[in-house]
C-alpha cells in the first residue's frame, strides 16, 4: 500500500525539481542577456509596464488552451520574468527614496504585500479545487483583475519615478542636503582651486 504513495511522492518531487531547474534556467538566461538591455533600451517606466502586459498575454493563452503543458510553461515563463525583469525594475524604484523610506516600504511590501497576495491566491485555489473548470474560469478572472491593478500601478509608478529623476528629488530625503549637494555638483573644479588659492594668498598676507 505504501508503494503507490511513494511513487506519487517521488514523481511529484521529480516534477518540482524539474520545474525549479527550468525556472532558474530561464531566470538566469534573462538576467545575463535581457535585463540590463531591456531597461537601457526601453527605460524603467516601460519595463515596469512590460511585465503585466506579458502576464496578460500568458493568461489569455492559458485561458484558450488550458492543458498541463501550457500551465507548466506559463508558470516557468512567469517565474522567470518575475525574477529577472520585474524584481530588478521594482528595486530600481528605490533609487528615488531615502534609506528610511526604502526600509519601511520594503518591509511592508515583502512581508505583507507578497505574503498577502500568495495567501489570497491559495484561498481562491482551495475554494475552487473541486472543479478544475471553475478554477480556470474564476481563478483566471481573479488573475485578470489583479493584473489590471498591477498595470495601473506600474504606469503611475513609472511616471512618478521619471518626474522625481528629472527634478532631482529624493522622497524622504533632506531638502537642505539635496540643495547643498546640487550646489556642489554645479561648482567646477577650478572654482575650488581658485578658492584654495585665495586662502593661500590671505595666509601669505597675514604672515
Instruction: Give residue-wise pLDDT tens across range 11-49.
Output: 777 878 888 888 888 888 877 777 788 888 888 888 888
Distance (Å, whole) CA 174 – CA 161:
18
> What is the distance between the alpha carbons of residues 135 and 132, in angstroms, rounded to a whole number?
5
What mean pLDDT comes out for the span 166-185? 61
pLDDT higher than threshold 90 for residue 4: no
pLDDT confidence of residue 8: 67
Say what the pLDDT of residue 174 is.
64
The partner residues of 171 in beta bridges, in order of sequence, read 97
Spatial contact of 85 and 29, defined as CB atoms under 8 Å apart: no
Q: What is the pLDDT of residue 200?
A: 45
Per-residue pLDDT tens digits for 39-68: 888 888 888 888 899 989 998 898 888 888
Q: What is the pTM of this model?
A: 0.67
Mean pLDDT of 110-134: 79
Choice between 194 and 51, residue whose per-residue pLDDT is larger: 51
184 pLDDT above the threshold of 50: no
Give the three cell numbers for residue 124: 481562491
**Distances in Å between the alpha carbon of 79 and those of 22, 23, 26, 92, 170?**
10, 6, 8, 19, 31
Amino acid at each position: 500500500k505504501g508503494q503507490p504513495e511513494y511513487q506519487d511522492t517521488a514523481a511529484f518531487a521529480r516534477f518540482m525539481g524539474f520545474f525549479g531547474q527550468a525556472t532558474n534556467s530561464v531566470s538566469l538566461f534573462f538576467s545575463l542577456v535581457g535585463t540590463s538591455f531591456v531597461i537601457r533600451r526601453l527605460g524603467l517606466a516601460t519595463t515596469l509596464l512590460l511585465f503585466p502586459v506579458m502576464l496578460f498575454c500568458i493568461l489569455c493563452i492559458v485561458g484558450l488552451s488550458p492543458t498541463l503543458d501550457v500551465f507548466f510553461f506559463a508558470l516557468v515563463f512567469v517565474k522567470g520574468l518575475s525574477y529577472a525583469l520585474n524584481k530588478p525594475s521594482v528595486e530600481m524604484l528605490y533609487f528615488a527614496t531615502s534609506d528610511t523610506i526604502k526600509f519601511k516600504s520594503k518591509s511592508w511590501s515583502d512581508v505583507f504585500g507578497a505574503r498577502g497576495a500568495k495567501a489570497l491566491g491559495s484561498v481562491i485555489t482551495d475554494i475552487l479545487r473541486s472543479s478544475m473548470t471553475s478554477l480556470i474560469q474564476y481563478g483566471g478572472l481573479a488573475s485578470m483583475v489583479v493584473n489590471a491593478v498591477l498595470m495601473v500601478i506600474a504606469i503611475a509608478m513609472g511616471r512618478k519615478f521619471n518626474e522625481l529623476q528629472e527634478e532631482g528629488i529624493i522622497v524622504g530625503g533632506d531638502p537642505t542636503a539635496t540643495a547643498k549637494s546640487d550646489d556642489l555638483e554645479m561648482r567646477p573644479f577650478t572654482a575650488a582651486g581658485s578658492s584654495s588659492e585665495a586662502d593661500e594668498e590671505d595666509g601669505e598676507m597675514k604672515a
